Structure 1
Amino acid sequence: MRNLMKLSAIALLVASVSACVVGPDYQSPTKVADIHVGSTYQSADKLQSWWQAFDDVALNELISEALAQNRTLAQAQANVERAYAVFRDANNDLLPKGSLDAGYQASENATVSSADNEVVSRGYTTGGNLSWDLDLFGKIRRAAEAAQANAQQAEMLWQDAQLQLISQVASSYGDYRGAQLRLVVAEQNLHNLEQSRGIVLARLEAGMASELELAQIDVQLHQVQAAVPGYRTALLTAEATLSALLAKQPGQLKITTAPHLPGLKQPVALVDGENYLRYRADVAVAERALAASTAQIGVATADLYPSLSVRGFLGFVSGPGLNLNGDSQSWFVAPTLSWQAADLGSVKARIRQADASTQMALAQFEQQVFTALNEMQLSLNSYNLSREQQLSTERQWQASNKALNIVRDRYKAGTVGFLALLDAEREQLRARDQLAVLQQQSFNRLVAIYRSFGGAIAL
């Protein structure tokens, strides 16, 4: 009973000493310059649903399948599990470790004494071994703190991987639909040029047009035909990208709905007073990296002080007879105190390394904040300008289409010359193809808004 009380007193003493944790306590930066950052990362509610605002069945199916099948996302998720396992392992180092062992040993001539010549000794050992590294100055706790920050960082990277995957699928879908749309436009333009060529040919046969006019309209026709392989290449490229993102083999991707580029039924809206930086996983990842680096300062600083470990055994040690009784019972306790007194210069160098790494992590965090803010603003401005350009081009195409119909009728009636028809054809072709390009651009820039705002834009 007296021994038990002594052990309890020693345990309380050790626990009180172990309450000391060296190194700086981490505080998440809430401001960078005059920018309010906030301290808590939050995955946006719309992260897993924002694309549904497009009401596009094919896009919904592609993203759902990508989230289930993409191997890079699976890798990121496995990395989260690995990082938390590392944290649990580091955190368990605070507790005593033990094992149950049973061993047998045989030896001959165990000493140089002549009395031991040709003497064979045998013995059995069985019992429990215990080891405990007492965390007097918080080295283990700081290491666990760093491991936890790394695990949280891995989880945020997984969230960011989902956002990036969804954005990549949506952008590639926009590229796919854009290439399809340009092919449709090219086919429509070829049909229109064939109509104009038929008019020129009829006038040529009637002696009212020249071979030059027919050759010039053929130039337009072949120019459009020459652009078609480029559109098909863009279509194949987008298909290959989507197939890779969905973990499909070549030729397995099927998108059966009619070619079109989805759009929103209402404009993008920002919530007044909302701090969208908290939805940026990359900012949160940089902040967790800073937390881990700060904890490593404590890990390095703890080596300035002594460390205490305890090793012990409780069991039985017997000879060949394997008699497990009170006479063969054995135990030992071996506390060890160690101190790197002769290598304090190296310890201080490691502290300076950890401090410099923390300063680097802080600079990286601050830079990430500025990068995120500018990306968000740029995405909004780019989308708004793209929409303005698209609306102007739509009006231009409508006007050029009307002008072409008028010129074609007048050329057929012989009231305008061939050059007027040629110019009208060229302008209509250019405006319609440019409109298809801008429709794709507007869609992709809209996707960029959601990506830069962490999927937190309200619709």
Structure 2
Amino acid sequence: MKKLTLTIISSALLISGCSMTPDYERPSVSVADVYLHASNSKEIQQQLTQQNWWYKFADEQLIELVEDVQQQNINIKQASERINAAKAYHQSVASYKVPTLSLNAGVVDLRFSENEAVAGGLIGDIALPDSFGGGYISGASRDSKDHFIGLNASWELDIFGRIDSMSAAAKIRAEQAEVMKTAVNTAVTADVINNYLQYRGAQSRLAIAQQNVVQQEQSLALVRSLFENGYSSELDIANEKTMLATTKSALLPLKTAQQVHLNRIAILLGESVNQTKLRFTDAPLPQMQGLVPTGLPSQLLTRRPDIALAEREIAAKNEEVGAAIAAKYPSLFLTGAPSFVAGDFDDLINSDSISWSLGAGVSWNIFDGGRAEAMVDMQKASFKQSVLSYQHTVNAAFNEVETTLYAYANAQQFNTQISKAVSHAEMALNKARVLYRAGLIDHISVLNAQKQNNQLKDAEVLARLNTATTVVMLHKSLGGDWQIKK
């Protein structure tokens, strides 16, 4: 028996490790040498090497905000816990590759029924027939007590690599959890930067509107003075009041926008709005200093978390296909239970109290109505879906980069043109005021010049804000490392 058992174990160990998992190769994707709009400006041809790129905004409050949000954000903390859970799951699955041992100890107190049909007659004194000389012999005791201590061991030999494939898939899922944390970190960081920019943008627009209110109140006072001296009309006063009321009406939406973005920043930080408000002192809308690098298209495949996540999904599905194939084949189990059993506790640790059981078995579903084959087909279909999903993710990523590059180039040009327009509008307004005081033009011309100047100043802030947010979108679409390096 011992020889047979050793033969079975040796044979199983020799053939173990035979994997049914198909060979896996990372998917290859053909990419262009340069981005579609790379020739539009020289800055989009540089390598993306700088970490903590938001430092180029030269805004200390923004830098501190990013550092804190990466430490405090609840979604990032949840992503970290998902990594811990995924690693624990991998360890749990991998543990099936080694024997399971359990220690058992205790006392068993038994009482048998004397009226039991089969064994009841064996309890107590048993009368012997006359042919055996008559008399009585002692039977089994009705009450018995046993003490025991021992081990139970079980082991499934992974002959066809089913457990190996499941373990490899679980390891890949843990890698995906780490990629997911990177993606969450990127999303949260981009979100807090965008909201900070929007907050500063609303603040700048509000300051412009408030300055316009002051100027228009001064202008209204001037018109009233001219009216009193016979150089203006009630129509001029009414028009000036209309302009002033219109400008004042714009203050409330801007205050609302400022508060909304402040609230969103507080949520991202996981703190109260009052705490967040104390972080900020008056500051202008930050602008990116220097060039915006982009790198090469091929680098996008390794930088973007969504592409990395999709690739790891293919690898995990490939392992699950292997596990499904291996499940069609036999499983070999080895079991053992050495122990000490004695009626008297003093005799428990004694060579005469040793008992054991050893076993080896095979489990194989030779007919299941095609269930195992259907599971393989299902996993193969899931694998093909993950490949298609990867292709779609890559295509969408390159499209996003191209679109954002185009938007970035146009945003820069728009910002330049708006700045020129603001300069011309200020000159026109100053000239209109001089001509009006000289009586050479009517007040409507002054109002039109003032309205155009106010609109262009507001548009200039919006253009700067649009350029800044496009920079964030560009860095996000290009992937890269968004983790604070300390």
What TM bracket, shorter-length normalisation? Answer: over 0.9
Aligned to 1:177: 200
Q: For residues 237-289 of structure 1, what are the alpha-carbon distances to aligned partners after superposition, in whole Å with 9 as ceiling and x for unaligned?
A: 01001111111112111243333121222121233575222100111111111
Residues 1:88 and 2:106 are matched in the alignment: no
User: Is this contact kept in 2: 1:450–1:456, CA < 8 A?
Assistant: no
Give CA deviations for 1:419-440 in whole Å, capped at 9, x if unaligned: 2111101111110111111111
Q: What is the rounded CA distance, in whole Å, between the counterparts of 1:306 and 1:272 in structure 2?
A: 50
Structure 2 matches for 1:185-224, cutoff 5 A? 185-224=208-247
Question: Which residue number corresponds to residue 40 of structure 2?
Answer: none
The 10-residue stretch of structure 1 (109-118 or 150-159) with the greater mean CA deviation from structure 2: 109-118
CA distance in 1, matches of 2:151, 2:306: 48
Contact 2:31/2:297 (8 A) holds in 1? no
User: Which residue identity lines up with residue 23 of structure 1 in the other structure?
Assistant: T
In structure 2, distance between residues paired with 1:398 and 1:116: 114
Whether 1:437 aligns to 2:462 is yes
2:340 counterpart residue number = 316
The within-5 A match list for 1:315-334 is: 315-323=339-347, 324-334=349-359
1:363-409 alpha-carbon deviations (Å, 9 max, x no partner): 11111111111111112111111111111111111110110011011
Aligned amino acid, residue 115 of structure 1: L
Bigger mean CA offset, 123-132 vs 71-80? 123-132
Instruction: Give the alignment of 1:220-369 within 5 angstroms.
Output: 220-253=243-276, 254-271=278-295, 275-323=299-347, 324-343=349-368, 345-369=370-394
Contact 2:401/2:478 (CA < 8 Å) preserved in 1?
yes
Which amino acid is 2:210 matched to? Answer: E
Alpha-carbon shift at residue 209 of structure 1 (Å): 1.1
Between the aligned partners of 2:361 and 2:284, the Cα distance in structure 1 is 74
Q: Assess if the C-alpha contact under 8 Å between 1:23 and 1:298 holds in 2.
A: yes
Does structure 1 conserve the Cα–Cα contact (< 8 Å) formed by 2:294 and 2:478? no
Aligned residues: 446
Select the residue among 13, 27, 30 that pairs with 2:28.
30
**Bigger CA drift: 317-326 or 287-296?**
317-326
Contact 1:196 1:408 in 2 (8 A): no
Please list every run of 5 or more consecutive structure 2 residues that lacks an aligned counterpart in the other structure: 34-47, 125-140
Q: In the alignment, which residue of structure 1 is the partner of 2:176?
A: 153
Verify: 1:57 aligned to 2:55, yes or no: no
Who is 1:403 aligned against? 428
What is the letter of the counterpart of residue 298 of structure 1? G
Change (3 A) 1:225 1:363: same
Q: Any idea what SS the aligned residue of 1:393 has?
A: helix
One-letter amino acid of the counterpart of residue 406, structure 1: K
Aligned mates of 2:426, 2:252 — CA distance in 1: 25
- Structure 1 residues 375 and 264: alpha-carbon distance in aligned structure 2, compared to 1, 3 A threshold: same
Evaluate the alpha carbon distance shift between residue 397 and residue 211 of structure 1 in structure 2; reply closer, same or farther with a 3 A threshold. Answer: same
Report the Cα distance in structure 2 between the residues aligned to 1:426 and 1:98, rounded to whole angstroms.
84
- Return closer, same or farther for 1:9/1:46 CA change in 2, 3 Å cut-off: farther
Q: Any conservation in 2 of the 1:59–1:170 contact (CA below 8 Å)?
A: yes
Whether contact under 8 Å (1:306, 1:337) holds in the other structure is yes
Partner of 1:394: 419
Give 1:100's aligned residue.
Answer: 103
Q: Say which is worse superposed, 250-259 or 390-399, in terms of deviation.
A: 250-259
Partner of 1:115: 122
2:5–2:360 Cα contact (<8 Å) kept: no
Structure 1 residue 150: Cα displacement: 0.4
Structure with bigger gyration radius: 2
Distance 1:11 1:280, change over 3 A: same
> Tell me, what secondary structure is at the counterpart of 1:122?
strand
Taking a change above 3 Å as real, the CA distance of residues 116 and 360 of structure 1, as seen in their structure-2 partners, is farther
In structure 2, distance between residues paired with 1:35 and 1:359: 25
Determine the structure 2 residue equivalent to 1:40: none
Deviations 1:193-217 (A, max 9, x none): 1232222112111111111111111
**Which amino acid in the other structure matches residue 319 of structure 1?**
G
Deviations 1:129-164 (A, max 9, x none): 111011011110000011011000000011111111
Q: CA deviation at 1:446?
A: 0.6
Tell me the residue number matched to 1:39: none
**Aligned CA distance change for structure 1 residues 231 and 364 (closer, same or farther; 3 Å):** same
SS at match of 2:454: helix
The amino acid that maps onto 1:143 is M
Amino acid at match of 2:97: L
SS of the residue corresponding to residue 97 of structure 2 reads coil
Does the 8 Å contact 1:281/1:454 carry over to 2? yes
Name the stretch that deviates more: 10-19 or 109-118: 109-118
Q: Is the 8 A contact 2:112 2:143 kept in 1?
A: yes
1:137 aligns with 2:160: yes
Unaligned stretches of 5+ residues in structure 1: 37-43
Counterpart code for 2:72: Q
Counterparts in 2 of 1:351 and 1:119: CA distance versus 1, 3 Å: same
User: How far 1:13 moved relative to its partner?
Assistant: 2.3
Question: Quick check: 2:105–2:148 contact (8 Å CA) kept in 1?
Answer: yes
TM-score scaled by length of structure 1: 0.92
Question: Alpha-carbon deviation of 1:192?
Answer: 2.1
Distance 2:93 2:261 in 1: 45
Q: Partner residue of 1:379?
A: 404
Distance 2:123 2:22 in 1: 60
Please report how far the alpha carbon of residue 306 of structure 1 lies from its aligned counterpart in structure 2 after TM superposition: 0.8
